[in-house]
C-alpha cells in the first residue's frame, strides 16, 4: 500500500525532505503523496520515514492503493533502477 496524508496535516514541512522517492509534495492545502512513487520506503529503509518524523500522526496507509511488500519492492526497483540485493 502507498501512504496518504490526511487533512490533519499542519504543513510543518518535515515529511517532504525525508521521502527518498520524491513522492511527497505540497498540495493545494496540505502535503500530498503520489501513490505511483510511494514505496513506504521499502528498498530504502525498514520504516516509512515520513511517518517517523510526522509530529501529528497524519500519514496512514492509503486504503485505495493495496500493494504487497513484494509489489512495493518491484516499484522501488522501477523507480530507482536498482535490483534487489
Q: Where are the domains of the chain?
A: 16-80
* Distance between CA atoms of residues 64 and 71, nearest Å: 15
DSSP state of 59: -
For the cut 60, the answer to whether the pLDDT of residue 84 exceeds it is no
Q: What is the pTM of this model?
A: 0.90
| Cell numbers standing for residue 4 | 496518504
| Per-residue pLDDT, 1 | 81
Topology of domain 16-80, CATH: Alpha-Beta Plaits (3.30.70)
Beta bridge partners, 3, equal 61
Angle subtended at Cα 8 by Cα 40 and Cα 54, rounded to the nearest 5 degrees: 45
Question: Do 54 and 15 meet the contact criterion of CB atoms below 8 Å apart?
Answer: yes
Q: What is the pLDDT of residues 10-62, one digit of tens each?
A: 999 999 999 999 999 999 999 999 999 999 999 999 999 999 999 999 999 99
Amino acid at each position: 500500500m502507498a501512504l496518504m496524508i490526511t487533512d490533519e496535516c499542519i504543513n510543518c514541512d518535515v515529511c517532504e525532505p525525508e521521502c527518498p522517492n520524491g513522492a511527497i509534495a505540497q498540495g493545494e492545502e496540505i502535503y500530498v503523496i503520489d501513490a505511483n512513487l510511494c514505496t513506504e520506503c521499502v528498498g530504502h529503509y525498514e520504516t516509512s520515514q515520513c511517518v517517523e518524523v510526522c509530529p501529528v500522526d497524519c500519514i496512514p496507509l492509503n486504503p485505495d492503493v493495496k500493494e504487497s511488500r513484494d509489489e512495493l519492492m518491484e516499484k522501488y526497483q522501477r523507480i530507482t533502477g536498482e535490483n534487489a540485493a
